[in-house]
Amino acid sequence: MLSMVSSSGDVEGVVTVNDVLVIGLMFLLLVSTLVWVPGLTRLMRP
Amino acid sequence: MTAGGILRILLALAVVFVLVKPLGAYMARVYTGQRTIFDPVLRPLERFLYRWSGVDPEEDMSWQTYSLALLLFTFVGMLLLYAFQRAQAVLPFNPQKMPAVSTDLSLNTAVSFATNTNWQNYGGETTLSYFVQMAGLTVKNFTSAAAGFAVLVALIRGLTRRQAQAIGNFWVDLTRSALYILLPMSIVVALLLASQGVVATLSPYKTAALLEPTSYDEPITDANGKPVLDAQGHQKTRPVTITEQTLAVGPAASQIAIKQLGTNGGGFFNVNSSHPFENPTPFSNFVELISILVLPAALCYTFGRMAGDTRQGWAILAAMTLMFLPLLAVTEGFEQAGNPLIARLGVDQRAGPLQSGGNMEGKEARFGVPDSALWATSTTATSNGSVNSMHDSYTPIGGLVPLVNMHLGEVVYGGVGVGLYDMLMVVILAAFVAGLMVGRTPEYLGKKIEAFEMKMASVVVLVMPLIVLIGTALAVALPAGRAGASNPGPHGYSEILYAFTSMGNNNGSAFAGINSNTPFYNDVGAVVQWLGRFWEIVPVLAVAGSMAAKKIVPPGPGTLPTHTGQFVLWLAAVTVIIGALSFLPALALGPIVEHFLLGAGTVFK
């Protein structure tokens, strides 16, 4: 629940390449979860 | 331990258990749509919310639709929290002029609060504006906790409905959890905390003159924050004298209330519930501790009520308590015994009228060993994660217990909703294995347990160890991971293991001593937290959907009773065996070896 270092911003008020990458990663996590159980059950099918 | 300490522990547990039945019964009324005392005020508000958001409260969802609604709701909330942090410099309620939060830290914090983990790689008072704390974090505290409730209720419906195709309405479950349970309780707890001195203000930070000037040597860093070294390679310092200090304040009381009740755990301030403005008195500590435990424990009774057999709920609560009490005794015992190296120096570490005794490093004098150890055990047994002492400073075995609590899957009371639905997955495994062993039909609450449920329950149980151990292995193998640990030897390894255990279990407590505000820990941690939450929830909902479609078979001579003392023992044993098989080797490399080395007088510098 705690950290030793605080963080300040890199760029303010501007959408950076990193922002796009981060949102892409979030989207990837969502998609991976949506296919998680259907994919898993297909894999487990004898 | 002093008699006072023992009495406080017994009193806290007694209050929790006294509240289990009335609170559990109330929650059962909420989820079955029965009238509650808050209806005159909240029912119109609830109807308005459905109308305003276009939700049809009568719609019954399949498990797939329920999962999709939950995932999309969480995803949108996560994006919003990310945007708040990145834009906080231009948003209101920012009296300290906090700049935008970095991308990797914003990602970690957004995922952390969306998944009810509340792992904090930031210091609240040095990083976030009041707006982000209130409109971002506190809102996520409510919604992520309510989502946990919703999944549990959907699973209970799945276990109790007969040949149904649906498991409820996610929007209704989410709304009712937040409105009828979390909101009223949070208001009461926030007022109690404010009465004890927990701050609740929107004014800027205060400046106070010190009673006497303080001097120290400040390390010198260059423009990039790197240490400036002298000819001998030592970091250069300059003498500094300070005469005043800044006191961080803010709208804390309301956030502390929901952080405990929703088993979120994210502190308003960096040191969480050790901070005197977040947890000022023994009474505030008592209130916060009860808030951590009461809802997860009471949900067992809610389950029993909704299943039409309260004995089932009591049996699960008994199995949880059977694991909780010995673990609590171990933490209390080792922390009160103190540090063996200090004992060898002839220092008296016994509790007495003039000293608390025991291992007081990293603990607040106003709480002492008993309340600190009780909190550490409770916050990791549940999925809370708030701390009132530094777990990094615990004795090796004292620090082992929080790890073990999480390695058991946080099913000992667990997070709100999460603990019980995870425990119900273990129940399914236990009933299946016991059924096979004694030749009984593997069934639970009259529903046959078949291959699909077993596969999904196994996935739920195995996902967490997999991501925790892979994350730890990555961090230990890569320089970026090893750089975070501030201690050498097994203690440094324990810091890394604890970090991934906490994130993978959506606990959020920190061992401390690890600098995890780095791109490596922020990015990998975000992935681990998401998978730990949603790669478990989706299979749980799949079990709910599968069980809902089955018919209920009346109990017969071949039925394995799941409310007896024998099953309680079996359930606790299965939980411990799964945890031990998954994590004993990892624990042996950390706190266990550290314990024996400490006993032999070996320390790492």
Residue with the larger pLDDT of the pair B215 and B439 = B215
Contact assignment for A22 to B527 by CB distance below 8 Å: no
> In sequence order, what are the residues at sequence separation of 6 or more whose Cβ sits closer than 8 angstroms to the Cβ of residue B597?
B489, B490, B603
Q: Is the pLDDT of residue B455 over 50?
A: yes
pLDDT at B99: 93
Single-letter residue type at B41: V
- The average pLDDT across B217-246 equals 87
Number of Cβ atoms within 10 Å of the Cβ of B339? 19
User: Of A9, A13, A25, which is closest to B101 when you measure between CB atoms?
Assistant: A9
Contact assignment for A22 to B89 by CB distance below 8 Å: no
User: Of A4, A22, A40, which is closest to B103 when you measure between CB atoms?
Assistant: A22
| Local confidence band at A7 (pLDDT 50, 70, 90 cut-offs) | very low
Contacts of A26 in chain B (CB under 8 A): 75, 78-79, 82, 107, 110-111
Instruction: Give the chain B residue nearest A27 (alpha carbons).
Output: B75
pLDDT tens column, B83-133? 999 999 999 999 999 999 999 999 999 999 999 999 999 999 999 999 999
| Local confidence band at A45 (pLDDT 50, 70, 90 cut-offs) | low
**Percent over 90 (pLDDT), chain B:** 86
Burial of B330 (0-12, 13-18, 19+ CB in 10 A): middle
Contacts of A42 in chain B (CB under 8 A): none
Q: Which residues of B488-510 are buried (b: 16+ CB within 10 A; e: fewer)?
A: ebbbbbbbbbbbbbbbbbbbbbb
| Local confidence band at B352 (pLDDT 50, 70, 90 cut-offs) | confident
Single-letter residue type at B472: T
Bridge partners for B401 per DSSP: none
pLDDT at B226: 77
Q: Is the pLDDT of residue B374 over 60?
A: yes
Q: Is the pLDDT of residue B572 over 80?
A: yes
Contact assignment for A7 to B527 by CB distance below 8 Å: no
**Are the CB atoms for B475 and B524 separated by under 8 Å?**
yes
CA B46, CA B183: separation in Å to the nearest integer?
13
Lowest mean pLDDT among A17-26, B234-243, B350-359, B487-496: B350-359
The pTM score is: 0.93
pLDDT tens column, B297-328? 999 999 999 999 999 999 999 999 999 999 99
Contacts of B110 in chain A (CB under 8 A): 26
pLDDT tens column, B2-60? 788 889 999 999 999 999 999 999 999 999 999 999 999 999 999 999 999 999 999 99
- For chain A, the residues whose C-beta falls within 8 A of a C-beta of chain B are 1-13, 16, 18-19, 21-23, 25-26, 29-30, 33-34, 36-37, 40-41, 44
pLDDT tens column, B390-441? 999 999 999 999 999 999 999 999 999 999 999 999 999 999 999 888 887 7
> In sequence order, what are the residues at sequence separation of 6 or more whose Cβ sits closer than 8 angstroms to the Cβ of residue B389?
B274, B362, B363, B364, B367, B372, B375, B376
**Percent over 70 (pLDDT), chain B:** 100
Contact assignment for A26 to B111 by CB distance below 8 Å: yes
Instruction: Give the chain B residue nearest A45 (alpha carbons).
Output: B452
pLDDT tens column, B505-549? 999 998 888 888 999 999 999 999 999 999 999 999 999 999 999
Contact assignment for A7 to B510 by CB distance below 8 Å: no
User: Of A5, A36, A44, which is closest to B535 when you measure between CB atoms?
Assistant: A36
- The average pLDDT across B470-482 equals 96
R_g (Cα) of chain B, nearest Å:
24
Q: Is the pLDDT of residue A11 over 70?
A: no
